[in-house]
């Protein structure tokens, strides 16, 4: 059977011109910024600097917090914390800077602490420059984990659906991951160990979207009597509600974390919102893009698809499409 692939490509480009251009520009800018400036790493990767200050237990904690916050703001980076806790007769304050400070900076901050808190020099008992907790090993391991996941799910998709689905999972996961990394690079978001967990979460969401769409196509036996382009249109159209519901739920959760979480977590929580946006964009734009542009060129496989459910009451394709 001859199919006019060029026509479906052109149609797809025509309908989604703006989305494709925006995504392409965004990806190019993100990759460029990421490659030139790298990522902004938090203390887990960059190491940190910590000052410990001992003050009397009768000290006014609120006043200390106010002054310490001022010092952190004056001399700090983006991921700084100040913690106060009681040990025996003393209250100890730990101020953590997200980078390792040189000696001049250390002296500057020590002087600021002494002046602001009106304490003896000896009370600033400890200053340490701590090396990174997480090594580059984590980068490599996370990349391997995602790779293994993509390979496993693609193999599964190949056998359950077809080669086109496997290809779709691979390409959409790569584009999704690059988009998420681009957001981090462009917005200069602080990257910690949680960021890696979110990359894994993003890939799981993208694969989830793919599987939801393919299941829709498979369960309605759409591909057996139409081409790839209309099959994916049908799949996306009928899965749209579920995919939107899922990703909007993740987005709301991220928003709640941004609103309620402590300041240091707000940056991390922003990433939850971004994974929802990227996963939804990939499901609604990238998957059909991959199918329409790349997969329509593939030879249509013979599918052994059965319509699930009872025949007399199964949902009619046209009915579902409404």
Partner 1 sequence: MTKKRSRFLFALFTIILVVLLVATFVNFTYPFSINGRYYTYSSFVSNIKLGEDISDSYRFVYRAELPDSNTASSNYDELKQSTMNSLADIVSSEGYRDVTVSQYSQGEEDYIVVTVGNILTIDDENSIKNLIGNPATISFSMSENIEDSFAGAQDVANVGSGSQYDSSTGETYNYISIEFKDANKIAEATEGGGTLYIFLGDSLAFGNGITIESAITNGYIAINLGSSENADGSTYNPTLEDAKTYANQIRVGLLPLSLTQVDGASITASYGVGSDLLLYIAIIIFVIATFVYLIVKYKEMGLVACFNLLFFITLSMFLLQSIPYVHINFAGIIGIVLAYIVTVESLISILERAKAHYLNDNKLYIAFRLAQKESLARTFMINLLFVVAGFICLFMPSMGIQSFGWAIFVLPFVGVLCSLAIMRLFIKMYLAFNNTDAKKLNFHKGGKNA
Residues 246-275 binding partner 1 (CB under 8 A) are: 246, 249-250, 252-253, 256-257, 259-265, 268, 272
Which one of the spans 21-29, 69-77, 82-90, 173-181 is the region binding partner 1 (CB under 8 A)? 82-90
* Binding of residue 70 to partner 1 (CB under 8 A): no
Task: Read off the tokens for 30.
Answer: 């993100």
* Binding of residue 85 to partner 1 (CB under 8 A): yes
* Binding of residue 40 to partner 1 (CB under 8 A): no
* Binding of residue 63 to partner 1 (CB under 8 A): no
Which one of the spans 29-37, 110-118, 197-205, 226-234 is the region binding partner 1 (CB under 8 A)? 197-205
Helix, strand or coil for residue 302? coil
Which one of the spans 3-11, 20-28, 85-93, 115-123 is the region binding partner 1 (CB under 8 A)? 85-93
Residue with Cβ nearer partner 1 (149 or 293): 149
CA 205 to CA 251: how far, in whole Å? Answer: 12
CA 13 to CA 288: how far, in whole Å? Answer: 11
* Binding of residue 152 to partner 1 (CB under 8 A): yes
Which one of the spans 12-20, 123-131, 180-188, 293-301 is the region binding partner 1 (CB under 8 A)? 123-131
Of 212, 287, 290, 295, the one binding partner 1 (CB under 8 A) is: 212
Residue with Cβ nearer partner 1 (165 or 296): 165
Site residues (CB under 8 A) for partner 1, limited to 87-116: 87, 92, 94, 96
Query: Would you say 220 and 317 are in contact if contact means Cβ atoms under 8 Å apart?
Result: yes
Of 20, 27, 134, 298, the one binding partner 1 (CB under 8 A) is: 134
Upper half-sphere CA count for residue 158 (Cβ side, 13 Å): 10
Of 19, 133, 293, 298, the one binding partner 1 (CB under 8 A) is: 133
Site residues (CB under 8 A) for partner 1, limited to 288-307: none
* Binding of residue 136 to partner 1 (CB under 8 A): no
Number of residues that bind partner 1 (CB under 8 A): 76
Alpha-helix residue ranges (DSSP H) falling in the chain: 5-15, 17-37, 43-46, 61-75, 103-117, 137-160, 163-186, 193-219, 228-260, 263-281, 287-289, 317-321
Residue of 256, 252, 247, 259 whose CA lies nearest to 176: 247
Task: Read off the tokens for 322.
Answer: 């409404």
What b/e sequence results for 134-164 when a residue is b if at least 16 CB atoms lie within 10 Å of its CB, and e otherwise? Answer: beeebeeebeeebeebbeebbeebeeebbeb
Task: Read off the tokens for 10.
Answer: 């052109």
Least gap, CB of 274 to partner 1 (angstroms): 13
Least gap, CB of 233 to partner 1 (angstroms): 17
Distances (CA, A) of 264 to 127, 180, 260, 280: 21, 20, 11, 27
Q: Which DSSP string corresponds to 146-214?
A: HHHHHHHHHHHHHHHT-HHHHHHHHHHHHHHHHHHHHHHHHTT-EE-HHHHHHHHHHHHHHHHHHHHHH
Distances (CA, A) of 231 to 106, 142, 193, 283: 63, 34, 39, 14
* Binding of residue 187 to partner 1 (CB under 8 A): no
Site residues (CB under 8 A) for partner 1, limited to 3-32: none
Of 9, 13, 123, 215, the one binding partner 1 (CB under 8 A) is: 215
Of 57, 107, 111, 308, the one binding partner 1 (CB under 8 A) is: 308
- For the window 158-177, what string marks contact with partner 1 as x by the rule CB under 8 A? --x-----------------
Least gap, CB of 212 to partner 1 (angstroms): 7
């Amino acid at each position: 059977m001859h199919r006019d692939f060029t026509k479906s490509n052109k149609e797809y480009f025509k309908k989604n011109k703006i989305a494709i251009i925006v995504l392409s520009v965004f990806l190019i800018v993100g990759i460029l910024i990421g490659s030139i400036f790298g990522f902004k790493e938090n203390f887990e990767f960059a190491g940190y600097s910590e000052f410990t200050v001992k003050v009397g237990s009768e000290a006014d904690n609120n006043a200390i917090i106010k002054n310490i916050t001022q010092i952190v703001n004056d001399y700090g980076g983006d991921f700084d914390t100040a913690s106060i806790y009681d040990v025996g007769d003393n209250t100890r304050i730990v101020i953590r800077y997200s980078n390792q400070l040189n000696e001049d900076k250390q002296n500057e901050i020590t002087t600021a602490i002494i002046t602001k808190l009106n304490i003896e020099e000896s009370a600033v008992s400890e200053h340490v420059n701590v090396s990174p907790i997480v090594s580059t090993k984590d980068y490599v391991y996370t990349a391997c984990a995602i790779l293994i996941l993509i390979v496993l799910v693609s193999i599964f998709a190949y056998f359950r659906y077809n080669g086109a689905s496997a290809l779709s999972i691979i390409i959409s996961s790569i584009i999704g991951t690059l988009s998420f990394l681009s957001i981090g690079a462009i917005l200069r978001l602080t990257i910690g160990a949680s960021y890696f967990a979110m990359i894994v979460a993003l890939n799981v969401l993208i694969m989830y979207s793919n599987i939801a769409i393919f299941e829709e196509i498979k369960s309605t036996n759409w591909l057996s009597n139409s081409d790839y382009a209309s099959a994916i249109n049908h799949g996306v159209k009928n899965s749209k509600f579920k995919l939107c519901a899922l990703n909007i739920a993740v987005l709301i959760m991220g928003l709640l974390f941004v609103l309620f979480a402590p300041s240091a977590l707000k940056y991390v929580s922003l990433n939850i919102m971004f994974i929802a946006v990227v996963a939804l964009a990939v499901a609604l734009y990238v998957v059909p893009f991959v199918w329409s542009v790349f997969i329509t060129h593939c030879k249509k496989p013979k599918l052994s698809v059965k319509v699930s459910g009872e025949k007399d009451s199964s949902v009619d394709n046209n009915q579902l499409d409404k």
